[in-house]
Structure 1
Amino acid sequence: MGTSKSFSDVKHSMIPNWGTLSSSLTSNCDSSILPAQKLQNIMGNFVSTLGGASTGGRGGSKTGGRSSIRTAKKIGGVFSKFISSGNNIRETLEYSGLTDLDNKTVGDIINHLIEYCSGNATSIDDNAAKEATRLLLEELIGQAESIEEVQILLEETFTVNTLEDVIIKYFGYYINELLSKWFYENLIKNKNESDCNNLFNQIKNFIVERIGDMHKKNPLQNINWSSDDADRLIKNIQHDVLTVFE
């Protein structure tokens, strides 16, 4: 579940709706199949801990949502370069700083892109953003066995998906990871592992299903990814994702 660090060092009493979110997870951590409304309630409580979709989505929360913005902008820059280069993976990797491609494995490429997009993880928010990057890259190119196959898989991805689709998917991974890192480690101390996994798997599937139905309204073509415009659009997307669950 990606539980490298718990949230025990944070003063929970200072976080809006923390107790409600904690209670909703604890009371639903069993072997049952939760109805959609209960999953929606859990995620609504999660968004409240970020101060709401607008605050959390645009980086105004101290509990989360900042590292994901920074990372999503780097991911957007990498994939935008891939698209604008005519799907040239070697040019894209060179853009990200990986210039010596001799004898590099797909694992090396993934690890490089994780570090490039997410950097050092010194907080729970950083850890969640970084793990979400790994999950996204493994989904997109983890089955490749060569640089050439990485290029083919990404070309297939962007034949049927927009860059906004991929960024939305990233934010889905991120919010699931953040929720997991906040609670899984402590919850498993009081509940059995099977029940914890059952709960968090249902939450993960619910997130994936809900964001899959989102209306896309932030076109990301021809953007300078170091600009204020890119920052605004990425924040808009995270806001839109969180609004689904608010």
Structure 2
Amino acid sequence: MGTSKSFSEVKHSMVPNWGSLSSSLTSNCDSSVLPTQKLQNIMGNFVSALGGASTGGRGGSKAGGRSSIKTAKKIGKVFSKFISSGNNIRETLEFTGLTDIDTKTVGDVINHLIEYCSGSATSIDDNAAKEATRLLLEELIGQAESIDEVQTLLQQTFETNTLEDIIIKYFGYYINELLSKWFYENLIRNKNESDCNSLFNQVKNFIVERVNDMHKRNPLQNIDWSSDEADRLVKNIQQDILTVFE
């Protein structure tokens, strides 16, 4: 959990539908393979705990969904710069403040970008947003063994994916991380580790599957990432994703 306090210390009475979400996870934390409807119910309760797709998606919930918006805009800014620079990774990294690039390892690059996009983590929401950034970057460039390979992998990524695809993927990771950070630590005290891992793996796979099937409607090309328009579009994407589960 890093420096964040346990969610058990947060007043659950201030989180809508907390009891329903907790019950749906606890009752399904066994060795069974969950049908789609049960997984949908869990995620529906999760969205309700955020106050609904509109409130949670647009950063209006105290329980989560704020740090993810801030981070997603920084991720968009980085990759937008990469695309506009003609896929020049060194120019992109210099733009984010990384120096002595040719002395850096791929791990150094990933760690730098995590800090650039997510910053310090002082809450569970921050931690979930930061961990989602790490997972996204490791998926995109974690297999690279050099800066040049980072450039090649990102170039290949954007030959088949739009920037919106990448932001959607990020939010999928974030939602799964937030749910896990709320409950995994407590569940594992009362259930066995294998059952907890089985439950959360099934939830993760369900999130990924549903998010991958989302209709894309928020093109992010050529926008100013510090603008109100960028903020609106990123919030649209998070709201759209939560609506899938509502």
Shared fold, TM over 0.5? yes
- Code of the aligned partner of 1:115: E
Deviation at 1:102, TM superposition (A): 2.9
Corresponding residue for residue 137 of structure 1: 137
Residue 109 in structure 1 maps to residue 96 in structure 2: no
- Residue equivalent to 2:225: 225
Q: Which runs of 5+ in 1 are unaligned?
A: none
More divergent stretch after superposition (166-175 vs 9-18) = 9-18
**1:215 partner SS:** coil
Amino acid at match of 2:135: L
Mapping of 1:90-239 within 5 angstroms?
Answer: 90-239=90-239
Q: Shift of residue 100 of structure 1?
A: 1.8
Show the counterpart of 2:70: 70
Q: Matches of 1:107 and 1:197 in 2, distance apart?
A: 27
Structure 1 residues 105 and 71: CA distance shift in structure 2, 3 A: same
Separation of aligned partners in 2, 1:163 and 1:52:
26
The residue type paired with residue 128 of structure 1 is A
CA distance in structure 2 between the partners assigned to 1:89 and 1:171 by the alignment:
24
- Taking structure 2 as the reference length, the TM-score comes to 0.98
1:5 CA drift (Å): 5.2
Q: Matches of 1:48 and 1:100 in 2, distance apart?
A: 46
> Offset at 1:99?
2.4
Corresponding residue for residue 86 of structure 2 = 86
Residue 8 of structure 1: CA displacement? Answer: 1.3
**Matched residue type, 2:215:** H
Q: Given the two structures, how large is their TM-score scaled by the length of structure 1?
A: 0.98
Query: Mean alpha-carbon deviation: is it higher for 8-17 or for 47-56?
Result: 8-17
Deviation track 1:116-139 (CA, whole Å, cap 9, x = no partner) reads 000000000000000000000000
Partners of 1:50 and 1:63 within 8 A in 2: yes
Change (3 A) 1:175 1:3: farther
User: Against the structure 1 CA distance between its residues 67 and 50, is the aligned structure 2 distance closer, same or farther, given a 3 Å change threshold?
Assistant: same
Identity %: 87
